[in-house]
Structure 1
């Protein structure tokens, strides 16, 4: 297996819940460090690799490192565990899923239980909600659960790993957005190995806590104070069943990266990205955002005195489930588009509308 694919599987299969990203960040840094001049991290764990740290003009390429998860909220006297969301976890998909509790004693296995269909007489009144989903770890009392190291605040993740489908797709949990961390690291590696000399400082940022409000990006933007920020995240593939294209637009996995229009996206920067895509014959799609993109783009754009920011999205099927899917060609084209942009960005380019 090639080293980049080995890294992809190791990184995606590792757990990195919001607020507990440490182990994933270590894997990411171990892969990135040979390809940058220096690196640093901040208080909450956002990791940054830097090329040309002495340069005054600073360019960021960014993804977020955290995944949705659960927190233990309440343990019943007979050993059942109730949880609350850490990020946008979906109650509907929880029943029958296997989970891992991350305790100081190590991983503890559990399952989201659910009554059999035979006894659900009134389907309307029995749907998964925050009030009725529960986890069973094979204990018959609260004391037994606590003896395993489980307590309120223990973080819980789904037990699923990355797989390949039909040679075209990767599928698994947490592609939102550790696939982004893979893409920015891979773009950096290729630039280094191809001997590309950038005339500016490149800051490769893997931010924490995006899933609870773009928190990591807000913190690191204030520290770096970049001139330009290119954020990569996932967006919805709206061509699979049950999506409404009138509401969510028309994006499809396999047709290329998605470039978003919106107030936080700087039009001059977006135009430059599109020009690079067209020149290099990289396919792309377009989308629009109402008010905010909902990604770390917003955090960078409105930081400091304003940062020229843009979003390159990867079409994703089944967001916030354990079977998220991305097309391999889209992953490759996001990497190519970022590299193309970085190699053609003039040193000190002024993106202001009025000069």
Structure 2
């Protein structure tokens, strides 16, 4: 992967963006695509990059990846300055005790730790119990409530204090790959399309959406505004090549084996065939899974927006989803970009997606 793209990915991941607080990441996305796309934003905070095609009455194609990540939110500060919090999105209470965090305060991040009673003081019969999130607390070093509230406010977002790290080979780890990996792919597709010698026969909209983790909200409003004929959602999916995940749940999915193309009720069969055909013709590795019902992604709301949209999912294999150590392979991101660009070149007729 080219160095400028890796730098963009690192900046996107480092930027705090829990659902409802996405603008630090959205500013980075907006700045990156500005040289090669027409950029706008909306009242929700979604960011749109538009590249017009060549011709009249072209298919409107929408790519979307969501920029929001899971996180925490300040709910209450007690008299001793300890912060009690709630979850933004699906946070696992198993992993939070003992974590370092950043409270995203008005004047910059305030460092803290999620407190944990020492094991020596825990009764043996209680050691296997999960501490509920509402019983956990953050210590920012404040002496009392007044000092804590001079540094932070109720409602401030909280992120895990980890960022992008390289593992062995082409594999990397970070918080927030769900789904800044998708936003990254959308931006890279826009960059690649803008560099093509000939314009595509589609009007292309690349969207970095918001509030997916709390109800697919940005994807819903983006579809309503853009009115796409065709939509491709770029998401992450569970890798099953780790020891504790059952392949019966999600099929055989591994890092480094290419993007995932799901089939099922949420997927337009004509668009699926275009994607799989492009992969075969252009020798792009892909993996296949089945999703027999609506997906919990922006593809779900896209498909049923207005009169319906021909929708597909392109997913990136990810280990350890919704933890601070989400792990993927960079080659899968690159192949995801190649696959979508190759597929866009094959779209010419908005009426071609009616199943026969």
TM-score bucket of the superposed structures, by smaller chain = over 0.9
Aligned counterpart, 2:105: 103
Could you tell me how far apart the structure 2 residues matched to 1:199 and 1:271 are? 19
Could you tell me how far apart the structure 2 residues matched to 1:320 and 1:225 are? 31
Contact 2:63 2:186 in 1 (8 A): yes
Matching residue within 108, 114, 131 for 1:128: 131
1:25 matched to 2:26? The reply is: yes
Question: Secondary structure, in 3 states, of the residue corresponding to 1:73?
Answer: strand
Listed as ranges, the matches of 1:29-178 within 5 Å are 29-36=30-37, 38-52=38-52, 56-121=58-123, 122-124=125-127, 126-148=129-151, 150-178=152-180
Contact 1:264 1:302 in 2 (8 A): no
Could you tell me how far apart the structure 1 residues matched to 2:154 and 2:309 are? 40
1:187 matched to 2:227? The reply is: no
Could you tell me how far apart the structure 1 residues matched to 2:226 and 2:314 are? 21
Could you tell me how far apart the structure 1 residues matched to 2:131 and 2:159 are? 17
Contact 1:282 1:333 in 2 (8 A): yes
5+ unaligned residues in a row in structure 2: which ranges?
none
| CA displacement 1:304-340 (0-9 Å, x = unmatched) | 1000000000000000111101111111110110011
Could you tell me how far apart the structure 2 residues matched to 1:316 and 1:251 are? 9
5+ unaligned residues in a row in structure 1: which ranges?
none
Contact 1:48 1:204 in 2 (8 A): yes
Could you tell me how far apart the structure 2 residues matched to 1:126 and 1:76 are? 24
Mean Cα deviation higher: 327-336 or 121-130: 121-130
Mean Cα deviation higher: 108-117 or 344-353: 344-353
Question: Secondary structure, in 3 states, of the residue corresponding to 1:12?
Answer: helix
Contact 1:61 1:230 in 2 (8 A): yes
Contact 2:71 2:89 in 1 (8 A): yes
Task: Give 4+ residue runs of structure 1 displaced > 6 Å after superposition.
Answer: none
| CA displacement 1:56-92 (0-9 Å, x = unmatched) | 4200111001111111112111121111111112211
1:300 matched to 2:299? The reply is: no
Aligned counterpart, 1:317: 319
Could you tell me how far apart the structure 2 residues matched to 1:195 and 1:89 are? 45
Contact 2:58 2:201 in 1 (8 A): no
Question: Secondary structure, in 3 states, of the residue corresponding to 1:275?
Answer: helix
Question: Secondary structure, in 3 states, of the residue corresponding to 1:28?
Answer: helix
Aligned counterpart, 1:342: 344
| CA displacement 1:259-312 (0-9 Å, x = unmatched) | 111211111111111111111111111112242211110010010100000000
Change (3 A) 1:55 1:143: farther
Could you tell me how far apart the structure 2 residues matched to 1:195 and 1:175 are? 32
Contact 1:17 1:66 in 2 (8 A): yes
Cα offset for 1:195?
2.3
Question: Secondary structure, in 3 states, of the residue corresponding to 1:92?
Answer: coil
Contact 1:254 1:330 in 2 (8 A): yes
| CA displacement 1:238-270 (0-9 Å, x = unmatched) | 120211222232211111111111211111111
Aligned counterpart, 1:241: 243
Contact 1:174 1:322 in 2 (8 A): yes
| CA displacement 1:103-158 (0-9 Å, x = unmatched) | 2232211101111222222335642322322111112321111111x232111111
Contact 2:230 2:309 in 1 (8 A): yes
Aligned counterpart, 2:331: 329
- Calculate the TM-score normalised by the size of structure 2: 0.95
Question: Secondary structure, in 3 states, of the residue corresponding to 2:131?
Answer: coil
- Calculate the TM-score normalised by the size of structure 1: 0.95
